[in-house]
Amino acid sequence: MTKREYLTETAEWKLLEEHFKKIESTHMRDLFRNDPERGRKFRVDNCGLIFDYSKNRVIEETMDLLLKLAEKCSLKEEIEKMFNGERINGTENRAVLHVALRNRSGKPVMCDGADVMPGILNVIARMKNISDRIRKSEWKGFSGKSVKNIINIGIGGSDLGPVMACEALKYYSNRDLNVRFVSNIDSTHIREAIIDLNPEETLFIVASKTFTTMETMTNALTAKKWVTDFFGSEKAVANHFIALSTNKNDVEKFGIDTENMLEFWDWVGGRYSLTSAIGLSVMISIGYDNFIRFLDGFHEMDNHFRDTPFDKNIPVIMALLGVWYNNFFGCETYAILPYEQYMHRFAAYFQQGDMESNGKSITRDGRRVNYSTGPVIWGEPGTNGQHAFYQLLHQGTKIIPADLIGFVNPLHGDRDHHNKLIANMIAQAEAFAFGKTSEEVVKEGVDEKLVPYKTFEGNRPTNVIMSERLTPEILGNLIAAYEHKIFVQGIIWDIFSFDQWGVELGKVLAGKILKELEAGENEETDHDSSTSELIKYYRSRCVEQKNK
Ligand code: F6P
């Protein structure tokens, strides 16, 4: 593992600390007043997006210093390592090659001396075959009826991406198909998903990289029982189940014919797997051509990220601004606020993407960090959020940087709604930045006592990201931009962004406690007194135990 100077000890970091002291109390009102060109200067137009970062608490010097920090962290070299298939996921000794999944250049991508592209293209062709058959009503269930209900069973990266993309691209979807998602181990999720369905017309996609995840396997077994009980035959599994996994053995053991299995590879991280076979439900929903447009968007942003100088590079700038607020202003959270109802799961998707990637505290050479790493990511679509949590964003004591994402043209052509929607988005960014001074409030004739309440400090940073229309390409562009932002921040914070050891402990303890919940009421447990009492309470009130 590489040895690197502690981030906070670098000269570049110290210069940023000095600079922060100078700029901390500067107001964006002054920054805009002093530079009438600011709105154009601090903006990048690329990949079908405009990325306006002028409403941030930065000046040119800030950006220069942040860019120097990126250089100091060898960002360029680290990007190349990822694209070249080096094993940058150090604790799992794996390459990180989600960029190959959407490589539309026709050029090879090498990993361990072999080109991974033929395998990827083969899987895409198989996905097309399955998707086309379903969309043309040619995929028949065990009794010969065409399937029209598709239920993706998966969790985390095997669920959030497909859910988010199916929702975001619903406008482009085939409305004759009913695509649903089951993730939670709470049986309510699967029961509600199948309650009104006919097993004869239902196809389950079991999506799991490992094919061992407790939630997914439990739900998949319930689905299998539902199907086989209905037909009275195990053979029905062949018509009603598809597996998406890296684990062929366990797929076979489950009873799914490997003919109906689409593979992916250990160099695809779960939360970066949307453009692998894990995206099958998305392809079924929007069709092959739209799915390829989606991949094209990712690829365009991948190229932009790899090839564009950092001072014009959207993911790099997003990342550096995030570091600026996280590490210098001490901001703990970051909001993603799409002004587009179809993108209502976008923030939830990047909650996993970002927090599972950069919620780490050990450097790549094994030391504990002495600085803050990944922020809490959250968000809801506008304008709903405005009537829920924006009060705190405007007048609370915390500074919460945010991305506001919006489109010029509405998909349903409702211009009146849309003008109001986007007017709100642009207005919010303006209000966050400039606020309203007490002098302005007084001028409005407000009662003196109310002036402090009606004053808005402003100086709250936002990025505004806009595009002409929400298309499959643009969604791909946006997702890839956020993925690469996360990568850049991981490099700066010197952490491994592609493992997730933090989810393991809970899984192991749940396995132990499960056995204890199912043991006899008087069976001993060896936990702390709180845990033991909770287990005892559950056992004593559990109806099945009582009837034992
Ligand atoms: O919760 C941890 C995790 O491993 C995620 O990283 C992953 O996306 C999810 O579980 C699902 O894993 P799998 O696809 O192997 O079922």
Q: For residue 57, which of 334, 375, 455, 433 has the smallest C-alpha distance?
A: 433
C-alpha 269 – ligand 1 centre gap (Å) = 9
Residue 356 designated active-site: yes
Task: Say if ligand 1 is within 6 A of residue 158 CB.
Answer: yes
pLDDT at 430: 98
- What's residue 2's pLDDT? 53
Ligand 1 atom closest to 500 (CA): 6
Q: Are 165 and 294 in contact (CB under 8 A)?
A: yes
Give the DSSP per-residue string, 11-32: HHHHHHHHHHHHHTT--HHHHH
Alpha carbon of 22 to ligand 1 centroid (Å): 44
Nearest by Cα to 53 from 492, 495, 485? 485
Q: Is 106 left (phi over 0), alpha (psi -120 to 50) or beta?
A: left
Q: Are 358 and 374 in contact, with CB atoms under 8 Å apart?
A: yes
Which residue out of 78, 340, 356, 473 is catalytically annotated? 356
Ligand 1 centroid from CA 208, angstroms: 7
State CA 222 to chain mean position distance. Answer: 28
Is 507 known to be catalytic? yes
pLDDT band at 337 (very low <50, low <70, confident <90, very high): very high
pLDDT tens digits for range 489-514: 999 999 999 999 999 999 999 999 99
Question: Is ligand 1 within 6 A of the CB of residue 157?
Answer: yes
Phi and psi at residue 8, in whole multiples of 5°? Answer: -75, -10
Q: Which residues contact 213 (CB under 8 A, 6 or more apart)?
A: 155, 156, 158
CB count in 10 Å sphere of residue 407: 23
Number of H helices, E strands in the chain: 24, 13
Q: Determine whether 212 is exposed, middle or buried from the number of CB atoms within 10 Å of its CB (0-12, 13-18, 19+).
A: exposed
Q: What is d(CA 115, CA 107) in angstroms, rounded to the nearest whole number?
A: 9
List, for residues 221-233, the tens digit of each pLDDT value.
Answer: 999 999 999 999 9
Nearest ligand 1 atom to the CA of 158 is 14
CA distances from 54 to 36, 355, 433 (A): 11, 26, 10
Given ligand 1 and candidates 500, 501, 504, which is best to mutate, with the most ligand atoms within 8 Å of its CB? 500
351 within 8 A of 306, measured Cβ to Cβ: no
Counting ligand 1 atoms within 8 A of each CB, the residue from 210, 351, 486 with the most, and so the one to mutate, is: 210
The predicted structure's pLDDT at residue 4: 82
Distance CA 244, CA 374 (A): 30
Q: Is 436 exposed, middle or buried (0-12, 13-18, 19+ CB in 10 A)?
A: middle
Ligand 1 in reach of 269 Cβ (< 6 A): no
- Taking only the tens place, the pLDDT of each residue in 23-78 is 999 999 999 999 999 999 999 999 999 999 999 999 999 999 999 999 999 999 99
Q: 401 near 461, Cβ under 8 Å?
A: yes
- Give, in order, the Cα–Cα distances in Å from 51 to each of 43, 44, 429, 432, 447: 5, 5, 13, 17, 40
Band (546; pLDDT cuts 50, 70, 90)? low
- Pocket of ligand 1 contains residue 461 by CB under 6 Å: no
Ligand 1 pocket, 155 CB below 6 A?
yes
**DSSP codes of every residue in 201-262:** GEEEEEE-SSS--HHHHHHHHHHHHHHHHHHT-GGGHHHHEEEEES-HHHHHHHT--GGGEE
**Above 50 in pLDDT, residue 146?**
yes
Average pLDDT, the chain: 97
Q: Determine the average pLDDT of the residues in 256-273.
A: 96
Tens of pLDDT along 176-205? 999 999 999 999 999 999 999 999 999 999
Helix (H, G, I), strand (E, B) or coil at 391: helix
Which of 213, 219, 349, 499 should be mutated for ligand 1, with most atoms under 8 A from CB?
A: 213
**Residue 457 DSSP code:** -
Which residue has 């094994």 as its token pair? 366
283 three-class SS: helix
Q: Is the CB of 162 under 6 A from ligand 1?
A: no
- Ligand 1 near 510 CB (within 6 A): no
Average pLDDT in the 145-171 region?
A: 98
The alpha carbon of 155 and the centre of ligand 1 are apart by a number of angstroms equal to: 6
pTM: predicted TM-score of the whole model, two decimal places: 0.97
